Amino acid sequence: MNETIKVTVWNEGVHEKTHDEVKAVYPNGIHNVLADGLRKHGFQVSTATLDDEPDHGLTDEVLACTDVMTWWGHMAHDRVKDEVARKVRARVLEGMGLICLHSAHMSKVFRGLMGTGCMLKWREVAEKERLWVVNPAHPIAADLPEYIELPHTEMYGEHFDIPAPDDLVFISWFAGGEVFRSGCCWHRGRGKVFYFRPGHETYPIYYNEQIVQVIANAVRWAAPVNTAVPVRGNYMPPLEDIGSEGKA
Ligand code: ZN
């Protein structure tokens, strides 16, 4: 895609208002840190949050002109209107890219696209994480070292109840002993979905340039491709003369 990719960074934005320790890390919200980081990679970025009206900032107009959406949510998944989650899912099936970050594994949109429980193990003791690139030929691994090290993270551990990813790009190791599939790709309809694990709200992870590099790579990977394939199935007359078989 040669045109500038249009990204909508969606953030629940509740922790930043209600928890002082989160405010200290993200005073203007997780969405603004992510948006600033992605703008440096040349994308046209706008933001939306849960409390934006109408429809959490995700109107039909916003959805229609979004190439790739990033999604961060945690404590208020249930406050996302079912109708909005359905529309975001429908846009993915039409071709919009979706990048679900960290605790977005339990969002209505991600679970709706996966069809599984999406549960995992977790522990919050600020332990070290290494994200190993396990698929160096994948475009989401571009311009990265062999692994990314994060000194203080929340642990997510297997089993992660997801359908087997179409591509696995990162596996995390944690100081406490667990491993986790941290960078997973799926194709859904004409759209692409990437789940990326890092990003707990009390750690400054979205200021990390390597983490932003991964998300930027994922935006490029997930951007829609031009295709003549119709979104919906329809009756198809035969392309060749197949005689009586075609008249049955
Ligand atoms: Zn977390």
pLDDT tens for residues 132-169? 999 999 999 999 999 999 999 999 999 999 999 999 99
Q: Does the pLDDT of residue 1 top 50, yes or no?
A: no
**What's the 154 CA to ligand 1 centre distance in angstroms?**
6
- Cα–Cα distance measured from residue 100 to residue 93, given in angstroms and rounded to the nearest whole number: 15
**What's the 7 CA to ligand 1 centre distance in angstroms?**
23
Q: Does the pLDDT of residue 10 top 70, yes or no?
A: yes
Contact criterion met (CB below 8 Å) for 74 and 167: no
**What's the 99 CA to ligand 1 centre distance in angstroms?**
16
Instruction: List 57's β-bridge partners, or say none.
Output: none
**What's the 84 CA to ligand 1 centre distance in angstroms?**
23
**What's the 150 CA to ligand 1 centre distance in angstroms?**
14
Q: Which helix (H) or strand (E) holds 140?
A: none
Residue 28 DSSP label: T
Tell the CATH topology of 6-114+182-228: Rossmann fold (3.40.50)
Please state whether the predicted TM-score (pTM) of the whole model is above 0.85: yes
- Cα–Cα distance measured from residue 174 to residue 156, given in angstroms and rounded to the nearest whole number: 8
96 dihedral zone (left: phi>0; alpha: psi -120 to 50; beta) = beta
Tens-place pLDDT, residues 39-91: 999 999 999 999 988 999 999 999 999 999 999 999 999 999 999 999 999 99
**What's the 22 CA to ligand 1 centre distance in angstroms?**
11
**What's the 67 CA to ligand 1 centre distance in angstroms?**
26
Where are the domains positioned within the chain?
6-114+182-228
For residue 228, what pLDDT band results from cuts at 50, 70 and 90?
confident
**What's the 95 CA to ligand 1 centre distance in angstroms?**
28
